[in-house]
Amino acid sequence: MPNKDKIVDVPTVNKIARLCRLDIPEANKENLTNDLNNILGFVAQLDEVNTSNVEPLASVTGHKLPLRSDFVNDGNIEDLVLKNAPENSSGFFVVPKVIE
Amino acid sequence: MSEILDLNLVEATEALKHKKISSLELTKAYLKSISDTLSLGAYLEIVEDKAISMAKESDKKLMNGTARPLEGIPLGIKDMFCTKDIKTTASSKILENFIPTYESTVTQNLWNDGAVILGKLSCDEFAMGSSNETAAKGNVINPWLKNKKMSPGGSSGGSAAAVAARSALAATGTDTGGSIRQPAAFCGITGLKPTYGRCSRWGIVAFSSSLDQAGPLTRTVSDAALMLNSMAGYDQKDSTSANLKMPDLMDYLDKGIKEKKIGIPKEYTQDGISEDIVKFYEKSIDWLKDEGAEIISVSLPHTKYALPAYYIIAPAEASSNLARYDGVRYGIRQEASSLDEMYELTRGNGFGDEVKRRIMIGTYVLSSGYYDAYYLKAQKVRRLIKEDFENVYKKVDYILTPSTPTTSFELGKKQDPLTMYLNDIFTVPASLAGLPGISLPVGLDNSGLPIGIQLIANSFDEPGLISTARVLEKNAGFNFIADGAAK
């Protein structure tokens, strides 16, 4: 992990915000950058742990993910699926125009 | 009225069964409590008409001899559980108008067993927080030392406050890193986080999917056992659900702990833990010893690294889970001229600061070039933490720890995110290992605030967890009621 003190700067914060599609007002950027550096500095403690030959653990269940046959098990619920959409039309979700 | 509020969940089921009270009376008493304690801010939504009609339905079943295990019991539901036709916001502005068209498995299990819904309970936004202060609609007030405005803890702060204030007979919660156990400790009630996989996650708003687990917040250990009996169960709709039958926990209430081995981890007595908590921790050890348990000193060497690992894994999973809030399929939308701008403004406007911080951290640790250094590293440390517990459970049956390093704190006093994260220092390790844990109240500190003690069992040993917790509960004899509780 990189140097603890200043892991991310404002341009990096802009880049991350862009990746996760999050509008951050200009006035909040410096505080957010400081918060992120504090948190990333804290988690950098993990560098002290020797993890060579340790397999990453993604799930504690120990069981294999179950599979099921590939068939439609609900369906005919178009109304319910669209019910909470901010905008819908003719059975579709509507978003701002993406093709000029 | 107050006599009916004195009944705990198990006592209320008996009183209902023997027709000493009706569900309608009980439910109305709780609806009155809710209106008497509105200033605590525990409820986001109250469904009076539905509560009354469910109570009447329960009374019919109680009369005709077809009562189910939780027949007529009025419950509060954390706003993380999707409830059909009842607004479910996860305490977030981005979901302020969301009305689910389906019911979560856990709440459906409760209704199938006869329970009555009172309403939806506030929590930290998307269950991210330890003080209930990140809730979009404002914090909840702990009913203890009500005038001082203490935090109920979080994220299940509304659930814990409602049970302590007697505005719900019991409540559901979710626990990702301590979100049931820490608020239970702060509010002087019992909170149980089951083994990962015990309760279905289907229909629960997802925060960190490899850690999220539902559980009960109740007045007593027996109440928790009765609630979990109904909440738990295999569910095909959750691929991580455990296909393992849980025994009836009510059969384990009085098994005792003779010849059981209790581990005392040396890493849990660190600097910064309050003196009163240490005192009650030592008392708890003595109680278990006096009841015939063998006390064994153990070590969980990677404990120190649980919190940093958690604050990589949980935000990483959160950043992925919360990508679904895009202003397209549900929730609010901020209109904009382009699709990307619509996403950015909707999310920027809809999420609060703590949620944004975690999405940012999660996105960073999963981004190209940093994935191995942060995310993969944290997953490796998670295995070491799990192995620590596996090694200790070769020698002992249960582990006893304090639930939190301090008792509740005043709202608005802890602003720094990192300081807030330290609240979960004793609850996060068991979460990372997927183990069941329970926090129960054992005493009050010198300012009159409740102190919680945590027991951690091996995977799927909820029965033993209940037996052991009952022994502690009997010895502690905690029978204080919060000054802000409904009378």
Q: Which domains does chain B possess?
A: 2-260+466-476 (3.90.1300.10)
| Proportion of chain B in helix, strand, coil states, percent, rounded to 5 | 45, 15, 45
> Mean pLDDT over residues B429-456, rounded?
98
> Mean pLDDT over residues B243-257, rounded?
96
Confidence of residue B419 (pLDDT cuts 50, 70, 90): confident
Q: How far apart are CA B2 and CA B414, in angstroms?
A: 36
Q: For B260-272, what is each residue's pLDDT tens digit?
A: 999 999 999 877 8
CA distances from A16 to A29, A36, B360 (A): 12, 11, 6
Question: How many other CB atoms are there within 10 angstroms of residue B341's CB atom?
Answer: 15
Q: What is the ipTM of this complex?
A: 0.94
* DSSP 8-state assignment for residue B44: E
What are the φ and ψ backbone dihedral angles of B75, each rounded to 5 degrees? -120, 155
B-facing residues of A in 26-55 (CB < 8 A) are: 32, 35-36, 38-40, 42-49, 51, 54-55
Q: For A31-58, what is each residue's pLDDT tens digit?
A: 999 999 999 999 999 999 999 999 999 9
Q: For B401-414, what is each residue's pLDDT tens digit?
A: 999 999 999 998 86
> Mean pLDDT over residues B456-460, rounded?
98
Q: How far apart are CA B250 and CA B263, in angstroms?
A: 25
Q: For B474-484, what is each residue's pLDDT tens digit?
A: 999 999 999 99
- Residue A5's pLDDT is what? 63
Q: Is A11 on the interface with B (CB under 8 A)?
A: no
Q: For B274-293, what is each residue's pLDDT tens digit?
A: 999 999 999 999 999 999 99
Statement: residue A63 has pLDDT above 90: no
Confidence of residue A18 (pLDDT cuts 50, 70, 90): very high
**Known catalytic residue: B155?**
yes
Q: Nearest by CB to B302, which of A32, A38, A49?
A: A49
Looking up tokens 């986001």, which residue turns up?
B44
- Residue A65's pLDDT is what? 86
The gap from C-alpha B435 to its chain's centroid, in whole angstroms, comes to 14
Which residues from B are below 8 Å from A48, CB to CB? 305
Q: How far apart are CA B291 and CA B351, in angstroms?
A: 50
| Domain spans of chain A, in order of start | 10-48
Q: How far apart are CA B43 and CA B33, in angstroms?
A: 11
- Residue A100's pLDDT is what? 67
Q: How far apart are CA A20 and CA B323, in angstroms?
A: 7
B-facing residues of A in 60-89 (CB < 8 A) are: 60-61, 63, 65-66, 68, 77, 80-81, 83-87
Half-sphere exposure of B347 (CA within 13 A, CB side): 27
CA distances from B417 to A34, B88, B140, B413 (A): 11, 26, 18, 12
> Mean pLDDT over residues A10-29, rounded?
97
Cis peptide before B104 (omega within 30 of 0): no
Locate all alpha helices (DSSP H) within B175-220, ordered by sequence: 181-186
Q: How far apart are CA B243 and CA B197, in angstroms?
A: 8
Q: How far apart are CA B296 and CA B266, in angstroms?
A: 10
How would DSSP label each residue in B321-372? HGGG-SSSSSS-----SSHHHHHHHHHHHHS-HHHHHHHHHHHHHHSTTTII
What are the φ and ψ backbone dihedral angles of B342, each rounded to 5 degrees? -60, -45
**Which helix H or strand E contains B144, and what residues bound it?**
none
Confidence of residue A4 (pLDDT cuts 50, 70, 90): low
How would DSSP label each residue in B370-401? TIIIIIIHHHHHHHHHHHHHHHHTTT-SEEEE
- Residue B414's pLDDT is what? 66
> Mean pLDDT over residues B94-118, rounded?
98
- Cβ atoms of B436 and B311 closer than 8 Å: no
Determine, for residues B210 and A59 on separate chains, whether the beta-carbon distance falls below 8 Å.
yes
- Strands of the sheet with B450-457, listed across from one edge: B43-46, B116-121, B74-78, B170-175, B213-218, B190-193, B437-444, B450-457, B398-402, B261-265, B294-298
Q: Which of B374, B377, B432 to mutate to test the interface with A (most CBs of A within 10 A)?
A: B377
Percent of the residues in chain B that have a pLDDT greater than 90, as a whole number = 96
